[in-house]
Structure 1
């Protein structure tokens, strides 16, 4: 009998200066993985990245209320940002290692942004001040509510044909990914903000700017189901 694919999920972290600092992960990340047929494993930050990658079949880089250091994508910070270097360094190492193995990767929100940076892309540091007539991408309302539409462009190497289809998704971000030849744009919001991307070569490496773990949009299940299907294939190669 084939085993369930093991999916590593990166948690956030509270104040690292506190003696009681905690890892934090919303339950719906693990629920989405398990509902799609995987086993969820929370990855504590460590320098043993290769050993983690030996133990899992797919990687989810989660979102978080912080920003990636602009130095990592060749820019100068335009204003003070809250950054979490310990988390970003760990996730960067995981992404680079998973890309080298062609292990399936799903980057969500900040995780999509970091995937783009690891692939060689750059970011819009602040949507409201840098994109004219932008939609509200970080609303006050709950992420359980759809905020704006995204339209899929062209075809993906790893998802069903969604070309031209539009979905209403939730949204919780003030930064976004700039276009690049290093990855393919899969979906955009009506204001042009890039909402999904895919690595141009290698295994499943897809980022989405919204939060599919909430299951707000029909496309959310499609994304997790296809990610887990690729992780299942990857696990069989490793046997």
Structure 2
């Protein structure tokens, strides 16, 4: 009997001085995975990347109130940014390993941006100063409230989306993903900001710029259901392979 697919979730880390430093993860990430039928597992930072990848069936890269170092995507910083090098290095190694193994990946907000960087993409470092006429993508209101529309376009290999569908989503970011040859743009905001992407090759590797764990938009449940469904398929293939090689 095959159990629930194991979904590894990356936590954030606070800035308290050791030994009081804490991992931080909002419960709605865990609840969203559980509701979709997955077994959520929190992944502490460390060098045990191979062990994590051998144990999980899906990888969820969460958001965070910090930025990706522009050096990682070949740019020079144009202003002062809050970065978290230890977390970013850990998540990069996980993403790159998961891409190689075709482990399903879901990147949310900052996680989508890092997924794009791992797929050789680049970022808009600061939407308000770099995109003329941009919407407010980091409003003062709670992420429980929809902020702006996104329009879905093209065909997804994995997500059940409808071309031309327009929905309202929440928004908590000031950086954005630039288009790349290695991923498809699945959705964009009215100001042109990329709101969802999908790797063109390999397994399920999807990023969304909004926060579907809050369940604000109709698409949010679909994002987690389709992600966990792919994790379940991966788990089944892994079990069959292990049984064959036993």
TM norm structure 2: 0.96
Q: Which residue is equivalent to 1:103?
A: 103
Q: How far 1:19 moved relative to its partner?
A: 2.2
Alpha-carbon distance in 1 for matches of 2:187, 2:81: 27
Ranges of 4+ aligned residues in structure 1 off by more than 6 Å:
none
Q: How far 1:173 moved relative to its partner?
A: 0.1
Q: Which residue is equivalent to 1:127?
A: 127
| Structure 1 counterpart SS, 2:230 | helix
The reply to whether residue 206 of structure 1 matches residue 206 of structure 2 is yes
Alpha-carbon distance in 1 for matches of 2:7, 2:161: 25
Q: Which residue is equivalent to 2:243?
A: none
Q: Which residue is equivalent to 1:142?
A: 142
| Structure 2 counterpart SS, 1:226 | helix
Q: Report Cα offsets for 1:157-216 as digits up to 9, x if no partner.
A: 001241100110000000000111111100000000000000000000000000000000
Number of residue equivalences: 239
| Structure 1 counterpart SS, 2:52 | helix
Q: Report Cα offsets for 1:93-145 as digits up to 9, x if no partner.
A: 00000000000000000000000000000000000000000000000000000
Alpha-carbon distance in 2 for matches of 1:16, 1:74: 31
Alpha-carbon distance in 2 for matches of 1:228, 1:48: 23
TM norm structure 1: 0.99
Q: Which residue is equivalent to 1:12?
A: 12
Alpha-carbon distance in 2 for matches of 1:112, 1:21: 26
Q: Which residue is equivalent to 1:2?
A: 2
Q: Which residue is equivalent to 2:93?
A: 93
Segments of structure 2 that go 5 or more residues without pairing to the other structure are: 240-246
Q: Which residue is equivalent to 1:40?
A: 40
Q: How far 1:17 moved relative to its partner?
A: 3.8
CA RMSD of aligned residues (A): 0.7
Alpha-carbon distance in 1 for matches of 2:102, 2:33: 19
